[in-house]
A and B are shown apart, each in its own frame.
Chain A
């Protein structure tokens, strides 16, 4: 069993105060228990880093926040809504408007251009054409890849893809940003750009940021650090 440092344990779950609330969440794969009783809340606008050994369940927790994996028991409230009770399609719509996700493994569509990739979540959120154009231009400018907008993603470097991933996560102006090892495999320059954005750029300011990382530079930016103490057997 992995145990986490606890943030805001047992505080009242006043509506509107928390962006994410875990209530007695357990998660297992077959006979392997990952978490047995997670119970904590993340305040809105906080920046939390989750650290721990490889295979300790960090990505699983992040995926549960995003509704990509469901807990075995317990409930998860995101912006006051219980995502464990939502259908897949409800979750899709909710994610499109609420959660920006930068996964560890690239999930960009290689056949599409940078602009088209970044634009996709706006289509799913039914944003009109003019607003889509404006939002995409803004976010590409902020992450410094507007000049690459017409390039096909398959032609980009790892670092450039990570920036596109970041832009795609931010384009819908989500209140929650989830990042899985965002600086891993990046050269120092690209890692510094990502950290610059996390440090308090207008693009990320005021959002709840939850990041899994092994990078000490990233944990130093976080307001709180959660630590997975034991690895999964």
Chain B
């Protein structure tokens, strides 16, 4: 998806599309909140509950980030038309939003998972260090994958429309 799109071009496009610090903050905080709760709860439940929690993380974050990326395009439709009139491709426009948003989703997930792991231990989680680590990694992977899938789905849906 990133092929042929430079960092500087991506940053210029993201600014053109008004992908602002507020957008980044929304993505990061939502990802952090979901990951923190999941990382804490996952230590207090059995295997079936853990699978259910990871699935819930994935669906929730995918839906949220999909809506955010769709919104970026919808409110910038005129800007997109202007950029396309001077040669912007759908690939470069998609990549600009994808990479501008995804980093904050991953960072928020990692932060939230760390906090959640500590909360889980404080709440009396029974697992050892290894199982806590596995839980944290699982939550980070699930939420990062969800953010990536959500942003990508939002971008694709917008182009189809």
Contact = CB atoms under 8 A, between A and B. Distances in A.
Contacts of B82: 107-109
Interface residues of A, number: 26
Nearest to A100: B86
B8 interface: yes
Interface stretch (B12-20, B97-105, B110-118, B124-132): B12-20
Interface string A88-116: 11001101110001010001110110001
Contacts, number: 63
Given A92-B89, A123-B8, A123-B9, A112 B83 contact: no
B75 interface: no
A107 B6 CA distance: 23
Contacts of B6: 123
B85 A88 contact: no
A168 B83 CA distance: 12
A119 B8 CA distance: 11
A120 interface: yes
Nearest to A63: B85
Contacts of A142: none
Q: Please provide the 6 A-B residue pairs with the shortest distance between their CB atoms, ordered closest to farther.
A: A96-B87, A124-B87, A107-B82, A123-B9, A89-B89, A109-B16
Interface of A: 66, 68, 88-89, 92-93, 95-97, 101, 103, 107-109, 111-112, 116, 119-121, 123-126, 129, 168
Given A66-B85, A107-B81, A124-B87, 17 more contacts: A89-B89, A89-B90, A93-B87, A93-B89, A95-B86, A108-B82, A109-B16, A109-B82, A112-B12, A116-B12, A120-B86, A121-B86, A121-B87, A123-B9, A123-B12, A124-B86, A126-B4
